[in-house]
Chains A and B, each alone.
Chain A
Amino acid sequence: DIVMTQSPESLAVSLGERATFNCKSSQSVLHGSNNQNYLAWYHQKPGQPPKLLVYWASTRESGVPDRFSGSGSGTDFTLTISSLQAEDVAVYYCQQYFSSPWTFGQGTKVEIK
């Protein structure tokens, strides 16, 4: 199985400031046939199911605000919130869908400083 490792475990950021989360896969999730990284990001607010934010490492899902951006390739990925809003308090998960079983990172919890 591909192991997904996220850092940091938690993050406290002031409103309006940038938040950055990291995700590392134990093997590359870049597919040679289409040059796509099979990497997605979700966030999960308390008491709610997760919500898909980004797929193909950098494509925002429909309706996701443009303050969320994903980057990276191969084994190292980043999700950035350019200006943290109160409603962004959540746990953020990365997931690979390159090789079954699809696996998630352990999550990064974001709080307001």
Chain B
Amino acid sequence: QVQLQQWGAGLLTPSETLSLTCAVSGGSFSGYYWTWIRQPPGKGLEWIGEITHSGSTNYNPSLKNRITVSVDTSKNQFSLMLSSVTAADTAVYYCARGRARSFGSGRLPGIWGQGTMVSVSS
């Protein structure tokens, strides 16, 4: 079955760049939305951004100046970069695949990675 395996640095100092990668196995990469969502400790969910297999992106404006989501179809991977991090960026970061190859509800995260805890501290 489809699995998402994510990795990246877990401890950053302020002003550094967060970098996470999510690898997809057991299924097709094309035709789906690929999403990043984060969750600060003890808090709710925040949608960060999404990308299609062809590279079209849609970002949360609250992060837009700092975020880059990219895709590498040759490796079935997609990545998140968030620059100039602060303590407010401390969170568990999840990657996810859309539930179906369709617009509308297809973009909803149906398969999730395990999450990566990223802490920002001086």
| Interface of B: prevailing SS | mixed
Residues of B within 8 A of A55 (CB): 99, 105, 108
Picked from B60, B104, B113, the residue with its CB within 8 Å of the CB of A101 is: B60
- B112 near A50 with CB under 8 A, answer yes
B20 to chain A, nearest CB (A): 14
- Name B71-122 residues within 8 Å CB distance of A: 94, 96, 99, 104-105, 107-110, 112-115
Q: Which of B45, B60, B113 has the most CB of A within 10 A?
A: B45
Please count how many residues in chain B sit with their CB below 8 Å of the partner chain's CB atoms: 22
- Which B residues lie at the A interface, using CB under 8 A? 44-47, 58-62, 94, 96, 99, 104-105, 107-110, 112-115
Of the A-B pairs whose beta carbons lie under 8 Å apart in the complex, a sample of 18, sorted by A's number, is: A42-B45, A49-B114, A50-B94, A51-B112, A52-B99, A52-B110, A55-B108, A56-B105, A59-B105, A61-B99, A61-B110, A95-B47, A97-B105, A101-B60, A104-B44, A104-B46, A106-B44, A107-B45
